[in-house]
């Protein structure tokens, strides 16, 4: 099979670009026009040895990436969740009375964050393509920290509402940004664990935030207690945002903590995903494709359904617990347990996915736990005599917290093209925001402590979630069969083995197995030849959809 001069993805084609970089005329490639992935330019200039990477150097570079990047991602997302949660912590210290909040004004202070994120999503999608990811993330980090500090001076609803709106707007990019960053640094096998680790800082924020608010509540100061709870996390965010401008790596080829050879290894690892890294050209064709892609809408609906559950349970969880016959102090203590459940289920589910290589079965199984918990909460009478049973099923319901990051990982493992990926992040976050807005509205105060209508809505949403998981799995299987046919129509080997879901210790054996398959079909093929051409998953017939 003839070598495409624009191909960047096989040992032979990589070697040709290395030779061009060492001397002679470099051939014109689409990378020069800005239509390809930023990794393409690196290959044109790389002067080292083009080779297939082995397990030892893969582990060495993976350890460097994990050790450097994961702590930064975790503390950014932790601060975002902590800062967003300060409202609920402050409410314990008479925020309503001190700020003279009337009627539904407190509820609106909670919801306005998500309205702001909806408004800012289009800007976030565009910015994640056009601007360096490190500058955008660090800038948003600094801005929301400053917004929280300024909120300290607000003592009435209008001022608090305005600053909460800015807080939500600047936080709108963070979760989508983290998904983009993980997709450009880790293989599809590694992504679920990393996504679930940073997402599990939600639980850490719930635990440490509760302890922080307890400690600050016992501090003697001229400020209102709620002002102190806004000020301290805001100062922490501003203090951490400043060094983040220098610490956060822009792209694998720009990472100061990696040598040139390490950068080559980092890109070769990501090549296996066929999802690329980053392109600074905003492509409207990829936006349109994302919007007409059925799987995009199924993932959006998955996020919406679980966010309806999350929004309701997060807002009304303490009130549900108190309705079991718990004292106020016991309610505060028991409300820390969901944070621990979040951390445990996130890490456990990610490890299972990494071991089994399948996301759909783990996701479907995880959805059954909150479904059972919601059903039991709906049927068991909320009386002191049933307190232990109610606590048990309430904690089973909390397993829903591991669902969102799994859906994120599943979505990004199956979406290629940088503009399409950023558009997909915007769609997912719209689903999350709308779900979190709708969820609390389904719990009616006059139905306390059972909240029958809210629990009924949770049951419907969780049933819909399970059905969507099954439908998405069937559709992805169809797309894989279609790509096999498309590959054969282009004279390629039909069945292609997916390296990205395998441990690096198996890569050599997989290469040998693939070579045998190629020989059996009479091909000498260059695999993953379009990984850094910024093609979407629909455009690239070599793409393998992850189940």
The terminus-to-terminus CA distance of the chain in angstroms comes to 30
Ranking 131-140, 264-273, 289-298, 500-509 by mean pLDDT, the lowest is: 500-509
pLDDT digits (tens, 9 = 90+) for 340-353: 898 999 999 999 99
Q: Residue with structure tokens 């299972």?
A: 352
Q: Is the pLDDT of residue 15 over 60?
A: no
Band (pLDDT 50/70/90 cuts) for residue 527 is low
Of 223, 248, 273, which residue is a domain's last? 248
Say which residue the tokens 């409207």 belong to: 284
Assigned token pair, 417: 């093209």
CA 520 to chain centre: 40
pLDDT of residue 323: 74
Tell me the mean pLDDT in the region 140-147.
Answer: 94
pLDDT at 431: 92
Domain endpoint, select from 434, 456, 480: 480
Look at residue 10 in the predicted model and tell me its pLDDT.
39
Structure tokens at 154: 């607000």
- Check pLDDT > 80 for residue 445: no
Mean pLDDT value across residues 49-58: 82
DSSP 452-463: HHHHHHHHHHHH
Tell me which residue of 368, 412, 486 sits closest to 196, measured CA to CA. Answer: 412
Q: Which of 125-134, 215-224, 430-439, 489-498 has the highest mean pLDDT?
A: 430-439
Nearest to 416 by CA among 304, 297, 293: 293
Residue 496 lies in a domain: no
Together in a domain, 221 and 306: no
The top-scoring range by mean pLDDT among 122-131, 407-416, 462-471 is 462-471
- One domain for residues 157 and 295: no
- Average pLDDT rounded to a whole number, residues 248-259: 88
Q: Are residues 187 and 317 in the same domain?
A: no
Query: What pLDDT score does 207 carry?
Result: 85
Q: How far apart, in whole angstroms, are the C-alpha atoms of residue 219 and residue 212?
A: 11
What's the number of domains the chain is made of? 2
Across residues 508-521, what is the average pLDDT? 74
Q: Is the pLDDT of residue 246 over 70?
A: yes
pLDDT value for 37: 63
Give the highest mean pLDDT range of 123-127, 172-176, 378-382, 407-411: 407-411
Provide the pLDDT for residue 131.
Answer: 82
Q: Residue 12 pLDDT more than 60?
A: no
Nearest by Cα to 313 from 467, 442, 468: 442
Pick from 193-202, 377-386, 390-399, 466-475: least confident: 377-386
In a domain, 298, yes or no: yes
Give yes or no: residues 443 and 335 share one domain.
yes
Are residues 305 and 191 part of one domain?
no
What DSSP assignment string belongs to 117-176? HHHHHHHHHHHHHHS-HHHHHHHHHHHHHHHHHHHTT--SHHHHHHHHHHHHHHHTTHHH
**Contact yes or no for 225/217 (Cβ under 8 A):** yes
pLDDT at 319: 66
Question: 310 with 440: CB under 8 angstroms?
Answer: no
189 and 138, same domain (yes or no): yes
Same domain, 319 and 447: yes
Alpha-carbon distance of 205 to 212, in angstroms, equals 10
Domain boundaries, position 451? 287-480
249 or 534, which is more confident = 249
* Per-residue pLDDT at 155 exceeds 80: yes
Q: pLDDT at position 5, please? A: 30
Average pLDDT over residues 74-93: 86
The more confidently predicted of residues 398 and 274 is 398
In-domain check, residue 257: no
Do 109 and 227 lie in one domain? The reply is yes
Asked if residue 238 and residue 305 are part of one domain, the reply reads no
Q: How many CB atoms lie within 10 A of CB 222?
A: 6
What CATH number does residue 309 fall under? 1.20.1250.20
pLDDT of the residue at 45: 74
Nearest-5° Cα angle at 186, 183 to 189: 100
Mean pLDDT across the stretch 195-224?
Answer: 84
**Last residue of some domain: 480, 509, 535?**
480
- Give the closest residue to 130 by CA, choosing from 262, 278, 332: 278
pLDDT tens per residue across span 360-373 = 999 999 999 999 99
Q: Look at residue 11 in the predicted model and tell me its pLDDT.
A: 43
User: How large is the average pLDDT for residues 503-511?
Assistant: 73
With respect to residue 495, please indicate whether it lies within any of the assigned structural domains: no
- Measured at the alpha carbon of residue 317, what is the angle toward residues 315 and 319, in degrees to the nearest 5? 95
pLDDT of residue 115: 87
Bigger pLDDT: 75 or 330?
75
Q: Give residue 532's pLDDT band: very low, low, confident or very high (50, 70, 90).
A: low
Q: 111 and 241: one domain?
A: yes
Alpha helix (H) residue ranges in 254-359? 260-271, 284-292, 294-322, 328-334, 337-356
Task: Give the pLDDT confidence score for residue 333 in this predicted structure.
Answer: 72
Q: Is residue 282 part of a domain?
A: no
227 and 295: one domain?
Answer: no
For residues 177 and 73, membership in a common domain is answered with: yes
The whole-number pLDDT of residue 332 equals 65
Task: Calculate what percentage of the chain has a pLDDT beyond 70.
Answer: 87
Q: Is residue 513 part of a domain?
A: no
Q: Say what the pLDDT of residue 18 is.
A: 38
Mean pLDDT of the chain: 82
pLDDT recorded at residue 67: 94
| Candidate ranges 119-128, 202-211, 365-374, 494-503; pick with highest mean pLDDT | 365-374
Q: Is residue 7 part of a domain?
A: no
Angle at 76 between CA 135 and CA 310, to 5 degrees: 125
- The mean pLDDT value for 402-430 works out to 89
Asked whether residue 60 is domain-assigned, the answer is: yes
């Amino acid at each position: 099979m003839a070598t495409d001069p624009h191909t960047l993805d096989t040992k032979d084609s990589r070697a040709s670009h290395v030779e061009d970089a060492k001397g002679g005329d470099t051939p014109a490639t689409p990378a020069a026009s800005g239509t390809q992935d930023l990794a393409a330019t690196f290959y044109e200039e790389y002067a080292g040895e083009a080779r297939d990477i082995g397990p030892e150097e893969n582990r060495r570079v993976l350890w460097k990436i994990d050790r450097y990047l994961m702590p930064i991602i975790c503390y950014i997302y932790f601060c975002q969740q902590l800062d967003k949660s300060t409202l609920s912590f402050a409410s314990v210290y008479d925020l309503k009375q001190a700020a003279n909040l009337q009627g539904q004004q407190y509820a609106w202070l909670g919801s306005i964050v998500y309205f702001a994120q909806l408004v800012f999503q289009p800007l976030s999608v565009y910015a994640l393509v056009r601007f360096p990811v490190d500058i955008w993330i660090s800038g948003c980090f600094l801005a929301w920290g400053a917004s929280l500090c300024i909120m300290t001076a607000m003592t009435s609803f209008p001022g608090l509402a305005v600053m909460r709106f800015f807080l939500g707007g600047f936080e709108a990019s963070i979760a989508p940004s983290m998904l983009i960053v993980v997709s450009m640094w880790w293989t599809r096998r590694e992504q679920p664990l990393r996504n679930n680790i940073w997402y599990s800082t939600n639980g850490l924020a719930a635990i440490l935030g509760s302890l922080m608010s307890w400690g600050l509540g016992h501090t003697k100061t001229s400020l209102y207690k709620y002002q102190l709870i806004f000020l301290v996390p805001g100062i922490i965010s501003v203090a951490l945002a400043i060094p983040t401008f220098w610490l956060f790596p822009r792209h694998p080829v720009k990472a100061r903590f990696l040598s040139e050879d390490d950068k080559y290894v980092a890109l070769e690892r990501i090549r296996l995903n066929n999802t690329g890294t980053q392109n600074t050209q905003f492509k409207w064709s990829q936006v349109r494709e994302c919007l007409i892609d059925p799987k995009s809408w199924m993932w959006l609906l998955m996020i919406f359904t679980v966010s309806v559950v999350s929004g309701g349970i997060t807002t009304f969880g303490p009130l549900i617990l108190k309705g079991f016959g718990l004292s106020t102090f016991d309610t505060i203590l028991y409300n820390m347990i969901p944070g621990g459940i979040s951390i445990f289920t996130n890490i456990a589910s990610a490890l299972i996915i990494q071991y089994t290589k399948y996301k759909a079965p783990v996701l479907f199984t995880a959805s059954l736990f909150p479904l059972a918990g919601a059903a039991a909460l709906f049927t068991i009478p909320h009386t002191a005599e049933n307190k232990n049973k109610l606590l048990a099923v309430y904690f089973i319901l909390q397993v829903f917290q591991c669902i969102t990051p799994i859906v994120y990982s599943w979505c990004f493992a199956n979406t290629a093209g940088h503009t399409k990926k950023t558009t997909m992040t915007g769609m997912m976050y719209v689903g999350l925001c709308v779900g979190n807005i709708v969820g609390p509205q389904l719990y009616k105060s006059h139905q306390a402590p059972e909240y029958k209508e809210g629990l009924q809505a949770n049951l419907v949403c969780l049933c819909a979630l399970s059905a969507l998981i099954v439908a998405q799995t069937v559709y992805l299987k169809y797309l894989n069969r279609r790509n096999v046919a498309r590959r054969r129509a282009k004279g390629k080997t039909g069945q292609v083995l997916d390296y990205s879901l395998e441990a690096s210790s198996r890569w050599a054996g997989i290469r040998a197995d693939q070579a045998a398959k190629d020989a059996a079909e009479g091909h000498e093929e260059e695999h993953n030849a379009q990984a850094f051409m910024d093609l979407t998953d629909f455009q690239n017939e070599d793409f393998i959809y992850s189940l």
